[in-house]
Amino acid sequence: DIQMTQSPSSLSASVGDRVTITCRASQGISNYLAWFQQKPGKAPKSLIYAASSLQSGVPSKFSGSGSGTDFTLTISSLQPEDFATYYCQQYNSYPWTFGQGTKVEIK
């Protein structure tokens, strides 16, 4: 199975900050990488697919990059509604696997 490792596991940031989360795959996955946002008690929301393509309706403050084994999710200017847990997921091969999540908290 492909292991996905996110860093950091949690971070504290202020409104307006630029935030970057990294995700590393244990082997190359091309660009078969998605990012999801989950708020407490809610279902996940799809943000990005194919490493850098925004899902429909997702604001452009979210961006993704990377290929192979190293990926990043960037939030350009953190807003109150962005405080949540973010997960990366590879879909290059079965089983699809997730990172452990990065919790973005208010500083």
Q: Would you tell me which residues interact with other proteins (CB under 8 A)? A: 32, 34, 36, 38, 42-46, 49-50, 55-56, 87, 89, 91, 94-101
Nearer to other proteins, 17 or 38 (CB): 38
Nearer to other proteins, 17 or 65 (CB): 65
Nearest distance in Å: CB 103, other proteins = 11
Nearer to other proteins, 83 or 91 (CB): 91
Nearest distance in Å: CB 19, other proteins = 19
Nearest distance in Å: CB 38, other proteins = 8
* CB 29 within 8 Å of CB 2: yes
